[in-house]
Amino acid sequence: MPEGHTIHRLAGRIQQLFVGQTWRVSSPQGPFTTGAARLTDRTPHRAVAWGKHLIVHLGADIWHVHLGLYGSFGFRGDEAFVTSDALGELRPVGRVKEPTYDDAGWIIPDAPRGAVRARIHVPGGWGDLRGPVKCRVLNPMQYEALVGRLGPDPLRQPTGEIDPQMLLTFRDNLARRRISIAAALMDQAVIAGVGNVYRAEALFVERINPDTPSQQLDADQTNALWITITDQLRTGVQEGSIRTLRPTDPELGLRGSDLHRDRRGGTGRAAEPLRGHWVYRHHDTPCLRCGQTILMRELQGRRLYWCPGCQTR
Ligand SMILES: [Zn+2]
């Protein structure tokens, strides 16, 4: 499932490519026809993410998308249809080699392929939404109800800062739940945006046993967990993928050199890692920190990975 960093990047792309322009919205697959008719020929004025929810504001109407496990957005357009990445570098988005335009000067999009729930289209390009679990238009009351049910999203903190109020809310949410910390981190009402990978990796980094009741975490543990999750999510937004294991991590010790190999087959700590995670999908292999075997089991239908040797808090 796309985790929070993916949705924040997606919101950033929609913000850059579509916001401020009058757009056309359609539902080639059909189920979103009424919603599309409501949104088309209007101008979106802000695209944001809240946890795993994509929110596009158009006056009093709010377009709400949740990708779920299999949803995705794809963008195509002409050479001017570009976004800048976190470093400010311009990146073309699915470039059409020989674009053609209609009389109004709008690029003529490809015929929809597969089940396109929603297509958004501006003069320079278009985006196709496939397979979401939610794609609907909300009014302000419905929108308030949606975000009112969501816990704090670490990626909504001011850039480079920790928001003390959000941290307090996270701590309160953990204290009120009678569930394990592993279950709590997946509860979007406790913290928004964390999915299976960040859960496993953040608990590992903080050496927290996934079965520890969430209300038993002390303030230091809660603070550290929030900061670690914030760092991991922010890195995910910058890099566009989840990589929580770094060649330079001091906890790797000497084992680090076994894990990294440059493209010519040599080894070196500066080379790209062959694996990007400490425990996620590394069950039945030795923990890189303590050597014990990493375990996996199902928890509420999702796989949980952890090391019994060093996640003991
Ligand atoms: Zn370990």
Report which of 251, 257, 260, 211 is spatially closest to residue 228, judged by C-alpha positions. 251
- Average pLDDT for residues 36-61, to the nearest whole number? 97
Q: Which of the given ranges, 81-85, 189-193, 237-241, has the highest pLDDT on average?
A: 189-193
- Does pLDDT of 53 surpass 80? yes
Chain segment 107-164, per-residue pLDDT in tens: 999 999 999 999 999 999 999 999 999 999 999 999 999 999 999 999 999 999 999 9
Report which of 189, 16, 41 is spatially closest to residue 91, judged by C-alpha positions. 16
- Does pLDDT of 218 surpass 90? yes
- Average pLDDT for residues 240-267, to the nearest whole number? 65
- Does pLDDT of 90 surpass 70? no
CB atoms within 10 A of CB 259: 16
Residues with Cβ within 8 Å of residue 13, at least 6 apart in sequence: 73, 75, 83, 93
How close is the Cα of 294 to the center of ligand 1, in Å?
Answer: 7
Q: Kindly indicate whether the domain formed by 154-242+277-306 is annotated with CATH number 1.10.3470.10.
A: no
User: What DSSP string describes 65-134?
Assistant: EE-TTT-EEEEEE-TT-EEE-TTS-EEE-SB-SS--B-TTS-B-PPPP-S-EEEEEEETTEEEEEES-SE
By DSSP bridging, strand 46-50 and strand 53-58 are antiparallel
HSE-CB of 253 using CA atoms within 13 angstroms: 6
- One-letter amino acid identity for 309? G
Which tokens hold the place of 78?
A: 């002409």
Rounded distance between C-alpha atoms, residue 151 and residue 170, angstroms: 7
How close is the Cα of 17 to the center of ligand 1, in Å?
Answer: 44
Query: Who has greater pLDDT, 225 or 240?
Result: 225
- Average pLDDT for residues 228-247, to the nearest whole number? 90
DSSP state of 293: B
Q: Domain spans of the chain? A: 4-148, 154-242+277-306
pLDDT confidence of residue 252 = 76
- Average pLDDT for residues 210-231, to the nearest whole number? 97
Q: Given pLDDT bands bounded at 50, 70 and 90, which one contains residue 271?
A: very low
Q: What proportion of the chain, given as a percentage, has pLDDT over 70?
A: 90
Rounded distance between C-alpha atoms, residue 21 and residue 215, angstroms: 47
- Does pLDDT of 256 surpass 60? no
CA dihedral over 38, 43, 49, 54, signed as positive or negative: positive
How close is the Cα of 231 to the center of ligand 1, in Å?
Answer: 21
How close is the Cα of 205 to the center of ligand 1, in Å?
Answer: 10
> Strands of 46-50's sheet, edge to edge?
46-50, 53-58, 61-66, 134-138
Residues catalogued as catalytic: 2-3, 52, 302
Q: Given pLDDT bands bounded at 50, 70 and 90, which one contains residue 248?
A: confident
Q: CATH second-level architecture of 4-148?
A: Alpha-Beta Barrel (3.20)
Question: What does pLDDT average to over the chain?
Answer: 91
Q: Given pLDDT bands bounded at 50, 70 and 90, which one contains residue 85?
A: low
pLDDT confidence of residue 207 = 97
- Average pLDDT for residues 84-92, to the nearest whole number? 62
pLDDT confidence of residue 262 = 44
pLDDT confidence of residue 92 = 63
pLDDT confidence of residue 82 = 86
How close is the Cα of 291 to the center of ligand 1, in Å?
Answer: 6
Q: Given pLDDT bands bounded at 50, 70 and 90, which one contains residue 265?
A: very low
- Average pLDDT for residues 294-312, to the nearest whole number? 96
Chain segment 156-215, per-residue pLDDT in tens: 999 999 999 999 999 999 999 999 999 999 999 999 999 999 999 999 999 999 999 999
How close is the Cα of 241 to the center of ligand 1, in Å?
Answer: 24
- The answer to whether the beta carbons of residues 110 and 116 sit under 8 Å apart is no
- Does pLDDT of 84 surpass 90? no
Among 92-96, 127-131, 191-195, 264-268, the least confident range = 264-268
- Does pLDDT of 260 surpass 60? no
- One-letter amino acid identity for 295? L
pLDDT confidence of residue 65 = 98
Rounded distance between C-alpha atoms, residue 94 and residue 97, angstroms: 9
Please tell me if the domain spanning 4-148 has the same topology as the one spanning 154-242+277-306: no
How is the chain split among helix, strand and coil, in percent rounded to 5?
A: 30, 25, 45
Residues with Cβ within 8 Å of residue 140, at least 6 apart in sequence: 60, 62
